[in-house]
Chain A
Amino acid sequence: ETGVTQSPTHLIKTRGQQVTLRCSSQSGHNTVSWYQQALGQGPQFIFQYYREEENGRGNFPPRFSGLQFPNYSSELNVNALELDDSALYLCASSSGTRADTQYFGPGTRLTVL
């Protein structure tokens, strides 16, 4: 069984730039959810993808967008980066679209200067 992987592990960007984060889901899982975790906070739900379609979105602006591919891997894109976007971005896969148990990757640490 292959776990959830994310790339890159760390990233430094400047305000206004765009970033793409990548995630490979655990084998057998067709649902991927993305979370943002600021320092000292719990993960905040950004959105979920199921079978290449967005299936639910949290309270994040449209400059946060995503994709899911036929192999169920996923991308998170953030445009017009702001300082407050600095956080740990977590990808989680699950076998269902409800609030099922989430299997998290190691995260991508994004720093916006």
Chain B
Amino acid sequence: SQKIEQNSEALNIQEGKTATLTCNYTNYSPAYLQWYRQDPGRGPVFLLLIRENEKEKRKERLKVTFDTTLKQSLFHITASQPADSATYLCALDTLSTDKLIFGTGTRLQVFP
């Protein structure tokens, strides 16, 4: 069956370090993958989209990689700040439904 996996355990890192979050998927062949940020009790906010023919995408302190062979995307936040603390969701399109499917999200906690 199709599955998207993100670390359910919270990621705790110190301010200034690079946070790396993982999104693995099975039985999908997505054309693109998206990352969203969600704060408690709020709706997700779009961050980045990367297409299957792109290896890497950057936006300010954010970097996303997409390895279709490994079926994995990595999401990096460099020089992390306490304000980066949130849950980060990855989402994939599916050819079968042509709609976005979300992972369960990983909670990131950046402490001073």
**Chain A contacts of B103 at CB under 8 A?**
42
Let me know if B102 and A103 touch, CB within 8 A. no
**Chain B contacts of A102 at CB under 8 A?**
36, 44, 46, 91, 100
Most B CB contacts (10 A, CB to CB) among A45, A98, A102, A104 go to A102
**Chain A contacts of B41 at CB under 8 A?**
88, 106-107, 109
**Chain A contacts of B91 at CB under 8 A?**
42, 99, 102
Say whether B112 faces chain A, with CB atoms less than 8 Å apart: no
Residue-wise interface mask of B (71-101) relative to A, using a CB-CB cutoff of 8 A (1 in contact, 0 not) = 0000000000000000001011110011111
Let me know if A101 and B104 touch, CB within 8 A. no
Chosen A-B contacts, 15 in total, with CB atoms closer than 8 Å, are: A35-B102, A40-B104, A42-B103, A42-B104, A42-B105, A45-B99, A56-B97, A56-B99, A90-B43, A98-B99, A102-B91, A104-B44, A104-B45, A106-B41, A107-B42
Say whether A105 faces chain B, with CB atoms less than 8 Å apart: yes
Nearest chain B CB to A89 CB, angstrom units: 10
Interface residues on B, range: 20 to 34
Give the complex CA separation of A12 and B101 in angstroms. 28
The residues of A with any CB-CB pair to B shorter than 8 Å are 4, 33, 35, 40-45, 48, 56, 58, 88, 90, 92, 97-99, 101-107, 109
Give the complex CA separation of A4 and B43 in angstroms. 10
Let me know if A33 and B44 touch, CB within 8 A. no
Contact A42 B93, CB 8 Å, known A48-B99, A101-B34, A107-B41: no
Closest to A102 in B: B100
Nearest chain A CB to B95 CB, angstrom units: 10
Let me know if A41 and B104 touch, CB within 8 A. yes
**Chain A contacts of B32 at CB under 8 A?**
99
**Chain B contacts of A48 at CB under 8 A?**
99
Most A CB contacts (10 A, CB to CB) among B42, B43, B46, B102 go to B43
Nearest chain B CB to A30 CB, angstrom units: 16
Give the complex CA separation of A103 and B100 in angstroms. 12
